[in-house]
Amino acid sequence: MKTAKGTIEHNNWKEEPYYDQVPLKSTEARIDCIFHGDIEARALTRYLMQYPTPETCHYSGYLVVDGTLGGKSGRFVIYEIGDWMKGVATSRWQIAEGSATDQLQGLKGHGQYQAEHDKTVRYELSYEL
């Protein structure tokens, strides 16, 4: 497997509650992500987020990635699941099987990142084509 590394910018974060009854809060977040590094791309991102406490969040969602990976162009979908605890987000990725297009057809892989609020997000993706 090859390894892709780089950074992610989370822009235009829009989070709206769809359930908010103390102590639980449920939201939907819409984010524009920009990847730099071995992935050069933009990604439309949607998360469903659950806050059992104000200090804890569990989330999952999809990123529709459009750009290049290792110099090859196309689109693919990442399924992400993660937790935000003590100010740190820890996410795990899985490339949705069969989602890759163009030069990225057949792409498979998984990855992760950790991020503190307002800090640079560094990703790592193990993949094969």
Boundaries of every domain in the chain: 2-128
Judge residue 7's burial from the number of C-beta atoms within 10 Å of its C-beta, 0-12 exposed, 13-18 middle, 19 or more buried.
middle
Q: How far apart are CA 6 and CA 35, in angstroms?
A: 7
For position 54, what pLDDT does the model report?
A: 87
Amino acid at 25: K
Amino acid at 61: G
Taken in order 98, 67, 39, 2, the sign of the CA dihedral is positive
pLDDT for 55-106, tens place per residue?
999 999 999 999 999 999 999 999 999 999 988 999 999 999 999 999 999 9
Query: What predicted TM-score, i.e. pTM, was given to this entire model?
Result: 0.92
β-strands 24-37, 39-53 pairing = antiparallel
2-128: which CATH topology? AOC barrel-like (2.40.350)
Contacts of 108 (CB under 8 A, 6+ apart): 95, 97, 127, 128
